[in-house]
Amino acid sequence: MPASYAYLGPEGTFTEVALRTLPEAATRELIPYVSVQSALDAVRAGEAEAAFVPIENSVEGGITTTLDELVAGEPLMIYREVLLSITFALLVRPGTKLADIKTVSAHPAAQPQVRNWLRAHLPDAVWESAASNADAARLVQEGRYDAAFAGEFAAARYGLEALETGIHDAENAQTRFVLVGRPARPAAPTGADKTSVVLWQRDDHPGALRDLLGEFASRGINLMLLQSRPTGAGIGNYCFCIDAEGHIADRRMAEALMGLRRICLQVRFLGSYPRADIAPGEARPMLPGTSDEEFMAAADWVARCQDGRF
């Protein structure tokens, strides 16, 4: 197994900064890839041990490129997640003033985050999409555009200066990243875990989705993300990417997944991994009747009834 992590490059993006917060990243070679697809393909092909990619952000929701790659193709598994607060700096060539800026560039995902700021401060600037925020910074360095929205950390790398920092339209703007590898036994529960699955409905009838969600609800499992993604079979045909609180080693989660496996056309397990938003011990209390002990006691009681020993 090569001791390297692929990540969505280029260098100097929020993805690299987020990846470097993982302790295990310090002992791996970190290799930038040009797209989420190519980073995940490197894992599937055995060229990298794992890939680190954005999967959700608080302004745009689920990152569909990443979700679609996890939904299709050879199965992969999520091992870790990282949350990073996102604020932008306006990077310019040294000496540029706000009044000089006619063109601004960034990755399209940055646009909704800086839209109001642009309207207020640079209403006439022309927006030019770039392949990444770091790429936008490079294009500013080369003189193609006047300013780039990127992380402040990108300024030094491209010989630019930050004319403004802390730019964000939404308070608490965060991006969630995941470390994705080939399937293996998930790490043991920490007490504050998350399980990701993809569900395909067997058929479409009133209550079909309600029934799927009931498999979680009836076992006291809270959902953290439900993102529909087209199956490609035409308008109205969706599968569902779901994040749920808990770990597949928990009895309640294992039973919910068994229920889904019975009633769904297909279920893809994407992993159980520690939550980045809370520490172990901070998880909300379980609903009464949904602990491992209660599941085991109930199974024991049914077995005794089946035996006539009640």
Cis preceding-peptide flag for 54 (omega within 30 of 0)? no
Handedness of CA 174, 164, 135, 128 (dihedral sign): positive
Site for its own copies in 105-144 (CB under 8 A): 108, 112, 129
Give alpha helix (H) positions in the chain.
Answer: 14-19, 36-44, 64-71, 111-121, 133-141, 154-157, 208-217, 251-263, 292-306
Residue of 17, 72, 225, 263 that binds its own copies (CB under 8 A): 225
Residue partners of 46: CB distance under 8 A and separation at least 6:
2
Based on CB atoms, which residue is closest to its own copies, 37 or 96? 37
236 binds its own copies (CB under 8 A): yes
| 94 near its own copies (CB under 8 A) | no
* C-alpha–C-alpha distance, residues 286 and 288, integer Å: 6
Q: Choose the binding region for its own copies from 137-145, 171-179, 260-268, 291-299 (rule: CB under 8 A).
A: 171-179
Farthest-apart Cα atoms in the chain, separation: 86
- The span of 55-63, 70-78, 96-104, 263-271 binding its own copies (CB under 8 A) equals 55-63
Considering beta carbons, is residue 226 or 249 the nearer one to its own copies? 226
- 87 CB neighbour count, 10 Å cutoff: 14
Q: Applying CB under 8 A, does 227 fall inside the site for its own copies? A: yes
> How many chain residues touch its own copies (CB under 8 A)?
52
By CB under 8 A, residue 45 contacts its own copies: no
Residue 307 CB neighbour total at 10 angstroms = 8
Query: Is residue 255 at the binding interface for its own copies, with CB under 8 A as the rule?
Result: no
Considering the complex, what minimum distance in angstroms separates the CB of residue 305 from its own copies?
27
Query: Smallest gap, in angstroms, from Cβ of residue 281 to its own copies?
Result: 19
- For residue 238, state whether it binds its own copies (rule: CB under 8 A): yes
Report phi then psi at 301, rounded to 5.
-65, -45
Of 17, 83, 248, 254, which one interacts with its own copies (CB under 8 A)?
83
Question: What are the backbone angles phi and psi of residue 3, rounded to the nearest 5°?
Answer: -85, 60
Token couple for 160: 């630019």
For its own copies, the closer of residues 191 and 214 by Cβ is 214
Question: Packing angle between helix 208-217 and helix 251-263, nearest 10 degrees?
Answer: 160
> Could you say which of 56, 135, 146, 250 contacts its own copies (CB under 8 A)?
56
Per CB under 8 A, the list member of 277, 282, 298, 303 interacting with its own copies is 277
Ramachandran category for residue 143: left, alpha or beta (phi over 0 → left; psi -120 to 50 → alpha): left
DSSP state of 120: H
| Among the listed residues 207, 281, 285, 308, the single contact to its own copies using CB under 8 A | 207
| Interface stretch with its own copies, choices 3-11, 56-64, 151-159, 299-307 (CB under 8 A) | 56-64
Answer for the pair 176, 83: CB distance below 8 angstroms, yes or no.
yes
Binding part of the chain for its own copies, among 1-9, 45-53, 57-65, 95-103 by CB under 8 A, reads 57-65
> Is 266 a residue that touches its own copies (CB under 8 A)?
no
- Tell me which residues touch its own copies (CB under 8 A): 56-62, 64, 68, 83, 108, 112, 129, 170-172, 174, 176, 204-211, 213-214, 216-230, 232-238, 277, 287
